Amino acid sequence: MNNRNRKTAFITKSAMIASLYVILTGISALLGIHSGVIQFRLSEMFAVLPAFTPAAIPGLFIGCFISNIVTGGIIWDAVFGSIATLLGALGTYYLRKKSVYLYPLPTVIANMAIVPFVLRYAYGAEGSIPFFMLTVGIGEVVTAGILGVFLAKTLKKYKIEF
């Protein structure tokens, strides 16, 4: 594959991942579980994808940013939530040669470190930062951790490549 085709493939993969992220966040929004103090974004299962393709890094970042805007988030949520997703994606990429059980860890940590401050200071949510770290962490463990590891193991089992 020549360089131009590689770039086109990279952009296409990123766009597909961003689109899927937005769709699954939209489904979570319809269910009323995508944001707030307790949040379960189904799209967070894609946090493992940077272990399979570097195209997932911009895809997740852009998907998160668009999702936060179209589901009614404020700009601070879109910016800082997307930064948390970007940091998690970069961390997952660097863990790609490790156990699939470690893939979600950077995303869980990044979201636990950043999103509670967005909840408290951007949205004015009642509660403490440690409490928000716990609630955001639980949501991330379920979505990125459990669902994400299931996705990663499935991709590896069936040798699905990006």
Cα atoms in the Cβ-side hemisphere of radius 13 Å centred on 137: 10
What are the backbone dihedrals phi and psi of residue 114, each rounded to the nearest 5 degrees, phi first? -110, -50
**Domain residue extents for the chain:** 3-157
pLDDT at 162 over 90: no
Contact indicator for 147, 28 with CB cutoff of 8 Å: no
Rounded mean pLDDT of 57-81?
A: 97
- What is the structure's pLDDT at 1? 81
pLDDT for 143 beyond 90 = yes
Average pLDDT over residues 45-72: 98
pLDDT of 93-127, one tens digit each? 999 999 999 999 999 999 999 999 999 999 999 99
Average pLDDT over residues 129-139: 98
Percent of the chain at pLDDT > 70 equals: 100
20-26: list long-range contacts, CB under 8 Å, 24+ apart. Answer: 20/46, 20/63, 21/46, 21/59, 21/60, 21/63, 21/64, 21/66, 21/67, 22/63, 22/66, 22/67, 22/70, 25/63, 25/64, 25/67, 25/71, 26/67, 26/70, 26/71
Residue pair 61/82 in contact by the 8 Å Cβ criterion: yes
CATH architecture of the domain 3-157 equals: Orthogonal Bundle (1.10)
Amino acid 22 reads V
- Judged against a pLDDT cut of 90, whether residue 151 lies above it is answered with yes
Q: Could you give the C-alpha distances from 143 to 3, 39, 48, 128, 150, in angstroms and in order?
A: 35, 9, 11, 23, 10
What is the structure's pLDDT at 33?
95
**Confidence tier at 161 by pLDDT (50, 70, 90):** confident
> What is the rounded average pLDDT for all residues in the chain?
97
Report pLDDT for 150.
98
DSSP per residue, 65-92 = HHHHHHTT--HHHHHHHHHHHHHHHHHH
Task: Show the tokens assigned to 11.
Answer: 């952009």
